[in-house]
Amino acid sequence: MKEKEREKIIKCVEQETEGFEIDDIQLKETKHSYFDTIKIYEVITKSKVNLWVLTGDHTPMNLYPKKEYDTVESIYYTHIGLIANLCSQTVHDYFILKFIKDKSIFPIVDMKLKEIEKDVKIGVSSLKLLSLANMIRETLLSLSNYLCTNELRNDNNIKEGDFKNSMDLFIGNLFPGKTNKSRRSFFKNICNEVWTFNSVLVHKKDLTIYDIFNSINSVKLLTSISNNYLTSLEMPFNKGKCPICESEDYIMLKPSNSNYNYKCKNCGEKYSIKI
Ligand SMILES: [Zn+2]
């Protein structure tokens, strides 16, 4: 780690927290997101809670307390969601909605679906429809390969192309813990349904263009859900509000027992949120 980066991290911890003593700063992973290269650092402290510091080449540095179920993946997606949110606030209130609607964070998937859609015409041969169904299935695999990285798959002995297990792993990392149970199950059920539906189509002899349209729409649905979850993750730490003045501008104080403690920068009120 460069000395300058180290100094910036220490400064960030000093500005955003109070009473923490840094033991060590470790670079956990460097990720290449759609819009920036993000470095994920874990700041080991002498207190009960360690901290994550994430920083990009073109996006701001931010700090998060490390929670029990946190993984490098989950904090990465939280950070990406937050940065996307921040960008949306500075550019345009509805920027993120338009961004999700028009661009999506999966340009490869969008490109492939558009190519497939061009070929869906009344009167195309059943052989052509079958090849389109296969292409749609391939697109689903691209999505799962994008979401569940090689590293994540290798660590868990999951083969490339194993859609269900890849998505299960990705979703489990994205939504860890008890409170995320319903999100996990909703997301997994949709994944399974979409995969099963499309796996049946590639063997179907009486395939129609309507099957292909539904197939395309099912991939769009899954893409849209993944999009939304990745860019609008629950961020309890960042969404904490002062109970007195509702300001979201605060510094984090040393945690006590089972609480995160905060001090409002606006009115000075001290308040806690359960760990
Ligand atoms: Zn306040």
Distance 233 CA to ligand 1 centre (A): 24
Per-residue pLDDT band at 257 (split at 50, 70, 90): low
**Between 104 and 133, the higher pLDDT residue:** 133
CA atoms within 13 A on the CB side of 169: 22
- Give the distance between the most distant pair of CA atoms in the chain: 71
Give all strands of the β-sheet with 270-274 in edge-to-edge order.
Answer: 17-18, 250-256, 259-264, 270-274
Q: Domain 106-228, CATH 3.40.1000 — does that match?
A: no
Q: Could you tell me which of 123, 127, 99 has the C-alpha nearest to residue 35? A: 99
Q: Which one, of 270, 255, 267, lies nearest residue 17 by Cα? A: 255
Half-sphere exposure of 135 (CA within 13 A, CB side): 22
Question: What is the Å distance from ligand 1's center to 119 Cα?
Answer: 58
Domain with CATH 1.20.120 in the chain: 106-228
Q: How far apart are CA 183 and CA 242, in angstroms?
A: 27
For residues 197 and 251, give the distance between their C-alpha atoms in angstroms, rounded to a whole number.
Answer: 49
Whether 51 contacts 45, CB under 8 Å? yes
pTM beyond 0.95: the answer is no
Q: Give Cα separations from 139 to 107, 217, 219 (angstroms).
A: 11, 12, 8
Report how far ligand 1's centroid is from the alpha carbon of 273 (Å). 14
Average pLDDT over residues 47-65: 86
Predicted confidence band at 239 (pLDDT cuts at 50, 70, 90)? low
**Alpha carbon of 271 to ligand 1 centroid (Å):** 9
Average pLDDT value for residue range 139-161? 86
* Distance from Cα 236 to the centre of ligand 1, integer Å: 17
| Mean pLDDT within 111-115 | 84
Tens of pLDDT along 17-38?
878 889 999 999 998 876 678 9
Strand partners, 25: 43
Distance of CA 90 from the midpoint of ligand 1 (Å): 23
Q: How many other CB atoms are found less than 10 A from the CB of residue 160?
A: 12
Cβ(275)–Cβ(50) below 8 Å: no
